[in-house]
Amino acid sequence: MIFGYYYYAAAILVISIVTVTFEVRDMRRNLLNIQKMARYECKVNVFRCGEYREVSSEELVPGDLIEIPKETRMPCDCTLLAGGAVVNEALLTGESIPVVKAALPELANVYNPDEDKRHTIYSGTEVLQTKDPDANSRTTGVVIRTGFATLKGSLIRYILYPKPPKFNFNSDSYKYLAVMFTMSIIGMVIQLISIDTSDTFEIVLKCLDLITITVPPALPACMSIGTNFALRRLKKEQIYCISPQRINLAGRITAFCFDKTGTLTEDNLTIDGYLPVDSVSNKGNSFQPLCTSVRYLAYEQDKLSANELFVECMASCHALAMVKDRVIGDPLDKEMFNGTHWKLEEVLGREDKIVTFMTAADKPKEKAATQLGIVKRFDFNSKLQRMSVFVRNMNTGKIRLYTKGSPEKLSELSRPETIPNNFTDVLSLYTQKGCRVLALATRALDIDAEGCERADREEIEKNLDFLGFLIMKNSIKKVTEPIIAVLSAADIRSIMVTGDNGFTAITVAKECGIIRPESKVYLGELQELQGLKCVSWTSVADSSGEKGKEKQGSVTNHTKTDLEKVPSDHDSPGRETLRVQQDPTTLRLCGNDPWTEGEDYTLAITGKAWDFLFEEDPKSSTEQMKMYLAKTAVFARMSPESKATLIDALQNTGLTVGMCGDGANDCVALKTADVGISLSDTEASVAAPFTSRTPDISCVVKLLREGRAALTTSFQCFKYMALYSMIQFVTVILLYSLDKNMTDPQYLIVDLFLLLPLAVTMSYTKAASKLSKQLPNAELLSFPILSSILGQTIIQGGVQVFFFFFVKSRDWYEPPLYDDEIDANDSENHMCHANTVCAAPKSRSSSSSPSCNMCPRWWRSA
């Protein structure tokens, strides 16, 4: 018996060709996009045989000395040896702010690509501007990596071969297909036992037919339809994906981490005030009244020494550059510099090699305009929490070191006598109001420019003179609070992971809803007592100032300080003084948890404390560590590596974790997370699996909704295809027992007009309009899924078996004719009751099974 299924075979062939064509087209388009992103060739001047020669960038090898190309993309990783450059690293980091690169100084230690990033220009970055050392020299660098060995190459490899997601769906589907294949083997055995033919070819054909029925070839295509529809909908929302397999994983997110600045809050910072100290040398130093006018601060006071140094630090301690007569750089640096009203200019070709100059623009006429020149710069390092510049006063010729950074770090590096007694209390006052506080410090140096180049950073950034605080504010984005509320309503944890101060982060977390208003907050900080490290917990009160803050975890007694603002005695606008009230409180020993059982509390923790806890328990196996991870909503002063270890620890507790960030400091965490979203202007950023061109966290909810819809669709399609295969398997086994099969039109109707449209329309269903608390099922081999498939298979198959034998038992039943009983020239149609009684219920079952497998409206729209 060999049936001529020409129409059915032709239809399947056409469908397969079309499906494969579209898949190959999409795959080729994606590979071409990756190739377009990865491959780049340009002409480069390389120093060979004693002269510069123009060669193709494809001929570069590590060790080549090249001239840095201007206004083009960099074809390799190289280290700057002479001159400087301004580059855009958005493709690699998602950070759209240009970065200033400087020549590698004469270092005593060995060059380290990770630590000397300021001197390294990476492949794929756009060189906006180069700065030649002088008129007779070029901006040069040495090639250190090419091709896939570059940083860009490693990111391309990540796109091509991403880390497999921790998801059981794919592995479970293979296990289930193995079960279905085993069913086909059982059917083959039954067929071999009952078959009444000696034709070997017909036996093999029937056995292979059973395999194609139980393991349908169209299954992979149906499984990918839902993901493809989700990708298209995300693209309309300006959310781009380089790792499609992560979409299903987005449907299982249970915790989402957010960077603060630029993600939850606006990028732009505004200066709220200046808080310099009285003096840079006297003991018992104290803060001056808060001031909002730089001019008054610098030129209308008697204590000009400390104030002018404060303003000079603001004007010079930055990494700004001029590109086409426009100041570019970090928004914080720009706001700080603009607040001084100084002028920035760049002069090339000087003998002293100073390029960047700052000139006071609003000096009184009787005073000479101060001009400062940057001799050397130690760029901001998130681990060190500071940046420094060597500055020469062009009026006097003297060199000073100016440093800005986190108050906690600069208090460690400054001379104790220059730090005001109420340093901690003043810092707490402003951070609890959500302000971002920068500390400024300086150090007079008796060295020349050559000494600056040889200076060791760790040694030179010590014994600083503390100058005061720069108080800045950045408001929360309008969509932040509503989005956090949506996530909270869906039982998705929101966690803030930031490099900012702990009190500032806590205040912002309360404003945007990450921390509930009624919850008491404890801040964990690392302390060292009697040579032993431990985490000390601090009870943080509201910023209203009624209770201040109570420190927990010190061996000795401390004081609690409430700082109240009162009108200033000075006549200048924007000034206010600080009045101190002290209230002693007794504190607990370090190591005792200050919260009580049943108390409504939330934890916040600093980066140093987290690193200590992670060192003690890297696998998050202890109950105490799990409790800390479950209760902590804010992680402050976190380095990029600490962010990654935190996400890894959260994953070890069983959470599926997402991460959303906007800067280079978030790249490691974005890749470590199960789902990472980079907020970037670039469409094809490789900083994360997902990139959103909308610069706020509204993309998170959109991605989670589409992820849940795609995951649900994958499960529904799999269940439908599995049930369809089992129903058809029962039908064919019954007909094979009579040496018959379904006809060509029957196969066409079921597969082409029932199966395919239902599979496509199921996948086309849009995501639900809101996030629900219920998560889609993540395990294919689970009781609800298996019971649904097996139960319906038994019901549908039982109906077919019942009617098959019921019809055979009727008096009017006529057994079908076998092939050898039909004349080859006979064109008459012969009745086959068994075919009709099996095919009709099968068609009904195939069309009705999607309604039996419909999912709730929690994840997909109606």
Q: Would you name the residues annotated as active-site residues?
A: 259
Read off the amino acid at residue 400.
Answer: R
Q: Is 117 helix (H, G, I), strand (E, B) or coil?
A: helix
In whole angstroms, give the CA distance from residue 687 to residue 352.
Answer: 39
In whole angstroms, give the CA distance from residue 695 to residue 699.
Answer: 9
801, two tokens? 């078996």
Read off the amino acid at residue 788.
Answer: S
Dmax over Cα atoms in the chain, in whole Å? 123
Under a CB-based contact definition with an 8 Å cutoff, are residues 432 and 412 in contact?
no
For 561-592, b/e burial (b = at least 16 CB within 10 A) is bbbeeeebebeeeebeebeeeeeeeebbebee
Q: Is 555 helix (H, G, I), strand (E, B) or coil?
A: coil
Computed on alpha carbons and rounded to an integer, the radius of gyration of the chain in Å comes to: 35
Under a CB-based contact definition with an 8 Å cutoff, are residues 64 and 47 in contact?
yes
492, two tokens? 């998705």
Please, which residues have CB within 8 angstroms of residue 699's CB and are 6 or more apart in sequence? 237, 239, 660, 677, 679, 690, 692
Instruction: Provide φ and ψ at 427, rounded to 5°.
Output: -60, -45
What DSSP line would sit under 55-86, residue for residue? EEGGG--TT-EEEPPSSEE-SSEEEEEESEEE
Under a CB-based contact definition with an 8 Å cutoff, are residues 272 and 471 in contact?
yes
Please, which residues have CB within 8 angstroms of residue 430's CB and are 6 or more apart in sequence? 437, 469, 471
Q: Which of 466, 463, 460, 465 lies closest to 427, judged by CA? A: 466
Read off the amino acid at residue 159.
Answer: I
304, two tokens? 């000009």
344, two tokens? 């920035």
Residues β-bridged to residue 470:
274, 438
Residues β-bridged to residue 43:
56
